Amino acid sequence: MSQFETRAIHTAQHPDRNNGAVIPPIYMTSTHRQNAVGDLAEGYEYNRGGNPTRDALQEALASLEGGRFGFSFSSGLAAEDAVIRATMTAGDHAILANDLYGGSFRMFNRVHKPAGIDFDIVDLNDEDALRAAFKPGKTKLVWIETPSNPMMTIFDINKVSRIAHEHGALAVVDNTFATPYLQRPLELGADIVVHSTTKYLGGHSDILGGAVILNDGEVADKIRFIQFAVGAVSSAFDAWLTHRSLKTLALRMRAHCANAQVVAEFFDGHPKIEQVYYPGLPAHPGHELAKKQMHGFGGMVSVRLKDGAAAKRLAESTKLFTLAESLGGVESLVNHPAEMTHASAANSPIEVGPEIVRFSVGVEHIDDLLADLEQALSRV
Ligand SMILES: *Cc1c(COP(=O)(O)O)cnc(C)c1O
């Protein structure tokens, strides 16, 4: 099979059969004409079940993650919800990492827990704690986010997946921060990959989307059914934009990684920064593991300031880094997790301290990014 960059550009991107257009059109349609009752053109019927533009994206997503099946959803959380519904029912139990996206925690805690799906939050780097958390016959999923949001913790995908399998559970990896360019969880032994394609895969802060990629045909059938029966699908236009963005994923990720490394090193020596959380720094506790399971350290950098007031002052003082939720776009963003992305985790085991500021380092010129951070820190 061809290399990542080549697949990102060519998978399911065939010139139009009729007029040779190099880029396939966006199929803005909700339904397809049937030749006779039940005689479908290329299997297409009503577009909640399948749309050619969405199918092309799904094939590309599967190819990039090295999986057999890909599914595209209207948001990352819709994709995660489909995984939970496909693998768990009332009475089942999940194990979640002790640092993860606040919205994922909120969905487990306030949507699925009231419906009877229990969960525990565990430090997945603590093998004894992880082994002790399994409830025989009940634990169906271990939910791994690595690097984690926002503390940039690195978890061992291969090891956690093996322990999950020993206990009859599936390992799910939220690969949003790393992207398949930097990390391919299925190749490391995980069972299911989920994404918020809103972030790096979309890459331009102009779409919402999610994805599920996996190898198991039986679970894939369930996900396909939920996608169809619940209907949280991506629109043809969003699917088309996301597919277009995949073509530059490798280029963008190299630039994000290079800029983030310099930003992390800049913060590392700065007197107003108490601690930097970036796996590309040799002092990061997950540095060696990240070198092993990733092909680069990503574009996300978090820092700790002396208190919440200083953190908010930094987040509100940047000019080029835009104060906004979300991440992974070409433009740099800054976020104060305790009151923004992780507000729903307040008073929970995954609460994020008010001293933390998270940066999504974009692909602008590094000199401009550093100048902006310098001027912002001078106001702290
Ligand atoms: C944003 C995000 C999600 C949720 O995705 P949406 O597209 O916002 O629904 C899930 N996981 C991670 C790591 C995220 O950053």
List pLDDT tens digits, range 360-380: 999 999 999 999 999 999 999
Residue that finishes a domain, picked among 217, 246, 275: 246
Helices (H), 231-377: 236-246, 249-268, 287-293, 308-317, 366-377
Helices (H), 13-119: 52-65, 76-87, 102-107
Task: Return the best residue to mutate from 72, 75, 77, 173 for the ligand 1 pocket (most ligand atoms within 8 A of CB).
Answer: 77
Same structural domain, 268 and 225? no
CA 203 to ligand 1 centroid distance, Å = 13
Average pLDDT (142-153) is 96
Residue that finishes a domain, picked among 186, 218, 246: 246
Tallying the residues shown for the chain, one arrives at 380
What is the pLDDT at residue 42?
Answer: 92
Query: Rounded mean pLDDT of the chain?
Result: 97
The band of 345, judged by pLDDT with boundaries at 50, 70 and 90, is confident
Distance separating alpha carbons of residues 4 and 16, to the nearest angstrom = 23
CB–CB of 363/256 below 8 Å?
A: yes
- Bond before 147 cis per omega within 30 degrees: yes
Distance separating alpha carbons of residues 197 and 207, to the nearest angstrom = 8
CA distances to 29, 41, 103 from 46, in Å: 9, 11, 31
What is the pLDDT at residue 349?
Answer: 87
pTM over 0.75: yes
Residue for token digits 């073509």? 247
CA 34 to ligand 1 centroid distance, Å = 38
Same structural domain, 53 and 199? yes
Average pLDDT (338-357) is 92
Q: What is the pLDDT of residues 257-284, one digit of tens each?
A: 999 999 999 999 899 999 999 999 999 9
Q: What is the pLDDT of residues 178-219, one digit of tens each?
A: 999 999 999 999 999 999 999 999 999 999 999 999 999 999
Residue type, 188: L
Distance separating alpha carbons of residues 32 and 361, to the nearest angstrom = 43
Same structural domain, 254 and 242? no
Same structural domain, 241 and 255? no
Helix axes 308-317, 366-377, angle to 10 degrees: 140
Question: Which residues contact residue 251 at a Cβ distance below 8 angstroms, ignoring those fewer than 6 apart?
Answer: none
Same structural domain, 218 and 285? no
Same structural domain, 222 and 369? no
CA 211 to ligand 1 centroid distance, Å = 10
Same structural domain, 97 and 81? yes
Same structural domain, 281 and 153? no
The total number of structural domains that make up the chain: 2
Per-residue pLDDT at 1 exceeds 90: no
Same structural domain, 188 and 261? no
Active site (annotated) includes residue 174: yes
Q: What is the pLDDT of residues 216-259, one digit of tens each?
A: 999 999 999 999 999 999 999 999 999 999 999 999 999 999 99
Q: What is the pLDDT of residues 17-64, one digit of tens each?
A: 899 999 999 999 999 999 999 999 999 999 999 999 999 999 999 999
Q: Write the CATH number for 287.
A: 3.90.1150.10
Q: Write the CATH number for 189.
A: 3.40.640.10
Q: What is the pLDDT of residues 287-335, one digit of tens each?
A: 999 999 999 999 999 999 999 999 999 999 999 999 999 999 999 999 9
Residue that finishes a domain, picked among 246, 263, 298: 246
Distance separating alpha carbons of residues 240 and 56, to the nearest angstrom = 9
Same structural domain, 229 and 310? no
The band of 344, judged by pLDDT with boundaries at 50, 70 and 90, is confident
Average pLDDT (153-161) is 98
Write out the residue range of the structural domain in which residue 281 sits.
250-377
Same structural domain, 240 and 257? no
55, 92, 156, 174: which is the annotated catalytic residue? 174
